[in-house]
Every structure is written in structure tokens, then in C-alpha cells.
């Protein structure tokens, strides 16, 4: 077997798009989205010219220290039960990581928690498993809802919770219209996204980030934007990503106005239909909390996604290959505190700016 760094991009891309474990976050186009803060390296393991494994590695310098971390979102792409290939890949990635002065390599494979063999294999290769993320503490969600969309549309609709079916039909009766968006619609989508973030208490990325995502992913067919309109106004929107036979619901936004006409339910249904038209077999609603207590502030999100009758899936979580134990410990203890402070400050500033803008508009 041969370990190749930054080899043939077309061969790499074709492998990711066609492999059962291929993921849009492992594409070179996703690397382009992240390149402002992460330096991408893509590697393959080849045998006789045929790709057996691939991995997108994103390098980032950690704050306050002159060290790097490496992250492979939903990687690697390979038969994870082929231990010989997996070992060859990780042994070489470990060497590459040391050359780049990385304190760790983080992966979060698209693998079920029930796959004990794989978890054991990763531990044999020197990985440490992180299982503490019940809500959204990890980089990628550990708990998701996934819907098999191979049945007919009538069968899918009939499988939804009665309240979900009712809300889809309510939106249709009330005259909510869904249309596919273009790049120029991102500004309105982002405006509504900011409202959603302030209402639900999460930080929203900049308009420029969404524009870069669109420019990198949409021309290759990896991204679609849909908007819900009511009485001539855009009141909700959704961004989904596509790769191979899979579709992922990535971002959703809704205005504080006209929420009673249930645009989010209709948007999901229309995007499910869109995914089927594109030949997808899986629709991934992405993150929900693993804490199913109704008192959890995230329970409403769980209930919304559960209504579409997907399967609640728990992944094996994040696995870290520790390369510098001292700085890894510092990072593990310090980063959650740093992120929490940064999030609170950012939300406070955004809320102040939003209120000032609304006040000036009203005046």
C-alpha cells in the first residue's frame, strides 16, 4: 500500500462521492469553505492505483500557543473494519501530524455507537474516546435523526407523526410557498438566521461565511438553499448539503413573524422530496440533544425532528490521537471555558446591535 499526500484531486473526490461512508465534510470543496482558518491536507491510501482510504485533514493553530491541532470532520472515508488499511492510514497520518507540530488528531466518524469493534480498533491505534457531549459540546453532533427516504412519498408522509402531517398541510393551506434560493437570497436568509440565533441563543456565522459556502459547494451540486414565503415575505429558510446518496439538513432559519403558519415543516418536506428527486436514500436531520428530558431547552428541537419518524442515531463520538499530552490536557480544560466566554460575549454584542438597529428603524 502507498500513502499519498495531496495527490490526484479527481481520484480523491470520486472516491469520497461514491464510497458508502463518503461525507460532504470530507470533500475538497468543504476544505475550501474552511480555508480561512484551517489549512487543508488530503491524503489517500492506494493499492495498485486503486484508492482504499481517504482523509481530509484540517490544520489549525491553537489560540495562545504556537501548536496545531488536526481535525478530520466525519473522517476517514474507508472500510473502518479493514484493520490493516486503517492502521496503515493512521500510522502515516500520525507521522504527518508530528511533522506539523500537532498536539492531537481529532476524528468523529459517521459510525454508530453500537459498532463496538470499530471503537476497540481505534483504541488499539492509540485513540482516546470522548463521550461527554450530550448536547452540542462537540464539533459535530453526536446524536442525529436519520430518515430512510427510499419508500414512496405517500409512505413517507403517512409515517410522520399526525401533528407533523397536519402542520405540513396547514402551511400548504395557508399559502406558504417554497422556492429554491440563489446566491442573492443569502442576505435575507442570513437576516432571518440572526433572528433565529438571538431567539434560541446560538452564535450565527457571518454573511460572508455563507457566501463562501455557497460559492464553494453549490456549483458542484453539494448545496441547496430553499426559502419559505408568505404574503410576499420570506419567513424561513433552509440549507441542505448533498454528497452521493445522502442529504444533510445543515442550517434552518425562521422569522419571529408568522410562525403559526408552520413554514419549517413544509421546508423539511419539500427538501425531502428534493433529495429523493436527486436519488438520495438518506435524509439526515442532524443534531439533537442526547438528553431527552422535556425540561431540556433543546427538547423542542428533538420533538420537531422526531415528528418526521427518523431513527435516532448515536455516533461513537470524538476520538483523539494525543501527540502532546501536556498541551492536550491544557486544551481539554481551557477550550470549553474559552468558547463559553466567547459565545456569551458574541451573543451580547449581537443582541445589542439588533436592538439598536430595530430601535433606529422604528424611530
100 domain residue, yes or no: yes
Residues 127 and 11 placed together within one structural domain of the fold: yes
Cβ-in-10-Å burial (0-12, 13-18, 19+) of 78 comes to buried
Q: Sort residue 49 into left (φ over 0), alpha (ψ -120 to 50) or beta.
A: left
The tally of domains found in the chain comes to 2
**Tell me, what's the pLDDT at 262?**
97
287 domain residue, yes or no: no
Q: Which three cell numbers stand for residue 115?
A: 459498532
Phi and psi torsions of 213, nearest 5°: -60, -45
Q: Sort residue 102 into left (φ over 0), alpha (ψ -120 to 50) or beta.
A: beta
145 domain residue, yes or no: no
What residue numbers bound the domain in which 225 lies? Answer: 150-280
**Tell me, what's the pLDDT at 333?**
76
333 domain residue, yes or no: yes
294 domain residue, yes or no: no
Q: For residue 89, what is the domain's CATH number?
A: 3.40.630.30
**Tell me, what's the pLDDT at 94?**
97
Closest by alpha carbon to 78, among 103, 39, 40, 110?
Answer: 110
Residues 37 and 88 placed together within one structural domain of the fold: yes
304 domain residue, yes or no: no
The SS3 call for residue 153 is helix
- DSSP 3-state helix, strand, coil percentages of the chain (rounded to 5)? 45, 25, 30
Rounded Cα–Cα distance for residues 321 and 55 (Å): 15
Cβ-in-10-Å burial (0-12, 13-18, 19+) of 231 comes to exposed
Rounded Cα–Cα distance for residues 40 and 57 (Å): 6
Strands 102-107 and 68-72: parallel
11 domain residue, yes or no: yes
Residues 134 and 7 placed together within one structural domain of the fold: yes
DSSP state of 162: H
99 domain residue, yes or no: yes
Contact 86, 80 (CB under 8 A): yes
| pLDDT of the chain, 363 residues: tens digit per residue | 999 999 999 999 999 999 999 999 999 999 999 999 999 999 999 999 999 999 999 999 987 778 999 999 999 999 999 999 999 999 999 999 999 999 999 999 999 999 989 989 999 999 998 866 555 556 899 999 999 999 999 999 999 999 999 999 999 999 999 999 999 999 999 999 999 999 988 889 999 999 999 999 999 999 999 999 999 999 999 999 999 999 999 999 999 999 999 999 999 999 999 999 999 999 999 988 888 888 888 888 999 999 999 999 999 999 999 999 998 888 877 665 555 555 556 556 655 655 555 555 454
Residues 196 and 255 placed together within one structural domain of the fold: yes
Amino acid at each position: 500500500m502507498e500513502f499519498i499526500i495531496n495527490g490526484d484531486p479527481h481520484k480523491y473526490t470520486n472516491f469520497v462521492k461514491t464510497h458508502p461512508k463518503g461525507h460532504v465534510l470530507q470533500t475538497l470543496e468543504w476544505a475550501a469553505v474552511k480555508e480561512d482558518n484551517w489549512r487543508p491536507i488530503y491524503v489517500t491510501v492506494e493499492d495498485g492505483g486503486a484508492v482504499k482510504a481517504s482523509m481530509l485533514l484540517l490544520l489549525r493553530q491553537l489560540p495562545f500557543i504556537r501548536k496545531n491541532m488536526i481535525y478530520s470532520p466525519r473522517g476517514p472515508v474507508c472500510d473502518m473494519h479493514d484493520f490493516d488499511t486503517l492502521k496503515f492510514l493512521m500510522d502515516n497520518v500520525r507521522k504527518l501530524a508530528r511533522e506539523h507540530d500537532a498536539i492531537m488528531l481529532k476524528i468523529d466518524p459517521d459510525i454508530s455507537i453500537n459498532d463496538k469493534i470499530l471503537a476497540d480498533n481505534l483504541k488499539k491505534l492509540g485513540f482516546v474516546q470522548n463521550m461527554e457531549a450530550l448536547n452540542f459540546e462537540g464539533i459535530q453532533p453526536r446524536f442525529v435523526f436519520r430518515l430512510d427516504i427510499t419508500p414512496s412519498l405517500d409512505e413517507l408522509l403517512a409515517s410522520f407523526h399526525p401533528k407533523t402531517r397536519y402542520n405540513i398541510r396547514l402551511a400548504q393551506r395557508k399559502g406558504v410557498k417554497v422556492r429554491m434560493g440563489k446566491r442573492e437570497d443569502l442576505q435575507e436568509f442570513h437576516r432571518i438566521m440572526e433572528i433565529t440565533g438571538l431567539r434560541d441563543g446560538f452564535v450565527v456565522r457571518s454573511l460572508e461565511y455563507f457566501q463562501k459556502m455557497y460559492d464553494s459547494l453549490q456549483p458542484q451540486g453539494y448545496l441547496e438553499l430553499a426559502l419559505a414565503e408568505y404574503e410576499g415575505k420570506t419567513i424561513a429558510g433552509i440549507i441542505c448539503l448533498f454528497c452521493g446518496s445522502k442529504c444533510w439538513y445543515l442550517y434552518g432559519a425562521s422569522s419571529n413573524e408568522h410562525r403559526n403558519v408552520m413554514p419549517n415543516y413544509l421546508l423539511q418536506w419539500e427538501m425531502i422530496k428534493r433529495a429523493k428527486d436527486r436519488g438520495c436514500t438518506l435524509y439526515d436531520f442532524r443534531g439533537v440533544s442526547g438528553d431527552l428530558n422535556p425540561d431540556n431547552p433543546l427538547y423542542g428541537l428533538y420533538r420537531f425532528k422526531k415528528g418526521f419518524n427518523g431513527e435516532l442515531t448515536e455516533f461513537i463520538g470524538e476520538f483523539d490521537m494525543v501527540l502532546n499530552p501536556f498541551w492536550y490536557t491544557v486544551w481539554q480544560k481551557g477550550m470549553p471555558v474559552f468558547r463559553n466566554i466567547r459565545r456569551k460575549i458574541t451573543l451580547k454584542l449581537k443582541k445589542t446591535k439588533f436592538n439598536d438597529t430595530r430601535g433606529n428603524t422604528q424611530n
